[in-house]
Chains A and B, each alone.
Chain A
């Protein structure tokens, strides 16, 4: 076992020394020296590590984090414990989209070149299909601009809606607190119902022009 230089084993000291870094947020703890990878500035692979870390350098100082107040056994260092799955995820995803590109050619085939005189039924890609279907259910201006505008506005401002209206509602209902949506019957239900409605419109449209459901103005078919 090497006693010095790169790769040298470092004996854990009797007292674990936690290094306090004097950042602006103040007092967040780093991994103690003896637990770190044996790659210091003198190691041949250090430039690789620095290369990987160029992104974090851009990220600036960390603030005071939740992990800084947690016991050591409830936390782990970002590198390599938290980092290692991501290269694997990247490779898996790349292989997956590569296989899709190789074997699902249908979606990539071009239709005939654009011709304004052609009579075709426009059909947006799947991520706009639910909106396309929604458009059929009422006056076009309201369905295409007013309601989507309100929904997007509500999404953008949701932290404030939740933070201001939520606690008031909780007090009126006699709740002790206003929980996060995952444990909140109101915001959680709104979210799930909203997603279900979008999914319903999506599948309605995907079912095709032959699939019609009754509606106030008469039957409405898919796209």
Chain B
């Protein structure tokens, strides 16, 4: 029996897959979709840059979670010392944390630039209204991610900035509701270890999952609508 050429094995695998789902067709359709030439303008790439930065964030976030300890009891708290450990002791820890930090800052700028471009060219208009709404929701989630991530190092500026933020949330009238919201966010009567655990859960589990889901919806919409008319 002759040994089959690797190409034939590959073709057999592709054929087997194609019988179960039209992979080849899907790949061709996606890859060779035609794009208008005006979409080559530099300001059409802000959205792609946001996507790339979110990918950086997810990757470096997972890496940081290997060493970060979401525990704020005691002084200095393990949360604080673990961030110090990442920054000064872990091999290339400064780089991973630095990329996470700077990408987060760059991300906000890029999201705003992307949004400004979409607004300016009127790309939110029919039939793309829903995608605009999804986009604004993602902007809010990016801001919430920044807010919750800011507390995690558990240093002085993180603590007091979060305290002010929670106070502002607690202003919601009537006062009973305000107190309720505040205590729910804090996880106790003051900003303390329970607050860090809540913010950590939001920052690491809830918000990334929601933003990935919304990104998927965003891209499905783009794929269905195609690129909008130029200005």
List A residues at the B interface (Cβ < 8 Å): 5-6, 21, 23, 25, 28-31, 36, 41-42, 44, 46-47, 49-50, 53, 55-68, 70, 74-79, 81-82, 85-86, 89-90, 93-94, 96-98, 100-102, 104-105, 107-108, 110-116, 118, 120-128, 132, 135, 140-141, 144-145, 152, 155-156, 158-160, 162-163, 179-183, 188, 191, 195
Contact = CB atoms under 8 A, between A and B. Distances in A.
Interface centre among A75, A125, A126, A160 (most CB of B within 10 A): A125
A134 to B, nearest CB: 11
B136 interface: yes
A182 to B, nearest CB: 4
22 contacts: A6-B7, A30-B34, A42-B11, A53-B31, A55-B219, A57-B23, A62-B30, A65-B33, A66-B226, A68-B34, A82-B40, A94-B99, A111-B158, A120-B157, A123-B157, A124-B150, A128-B165, A135-B168, A145-B168, A158-B132, A159-B133, A191-B120
B126 interface: yes
Interface in B106-139: 106, 108, 116, 119-122, 124-126, 128-129, 132-133, 136-137
B98 interface: yes
The 4 closest A-B pairs by CB, nearest first: A101-B98, A180-B122, A56-B30, A65-B226
Specify the main secondary structure of chain B where it touches its partner: helix
A56 B128 CA distance: 19
Interface in B212-231: 216, 219-220, 223-229, 231
Given A127-B108, A182-B122, A191-B120, A42 B7 contact: yes
B32 to A, nearest CB: 4
Interface in B31-78: 31-37, 39-40, 45, 48-49, 52-53, 56, 72, 75-77
Determine the interface band of chain B, counting residues with CB < 8 A from chain A.
Answer: 35 or more
Interface in B170-206: 171-173, 190-191
A90 B48 CA distance: 9
B75 to A, nearest CB: 6
A50 B27 contact: yes
Interface in B85-103: 87, 94-95, 97-99, 101-103
Interface of A is mostly: helix
Contacts of A141: 171, 173
Given A53-B31, A108-B87, A115-B75, A101 B24 contact: no
A108 to B, nearest CB: 6
Contact of B159 (A60, A66, A114, A125): A114
Contacts of B77: 113-114
Contact of A44 (B6, B36, B120, B125): B6
Contact of B36 (A66, A90, A126): A66
A128 B162 CA distance: 12
Contact of A195 (B103, B116, B227): B116
Contact of B126 (A58, A116, A123, A163): A163
B72 A162 contact: no
Interface string B1-45: 000001100110010000000011111111111111101100001
Given A162-B125, A183-B231, A156 B133 contact: yes
Given A50-B23, A93-B106, A162-B125, A30 B45 contact: no
Contacts of A114: 72, 75, 77, 80, 154-156, 158-159
A78 B31 contact: yes
A160 B130 CA distance: 10
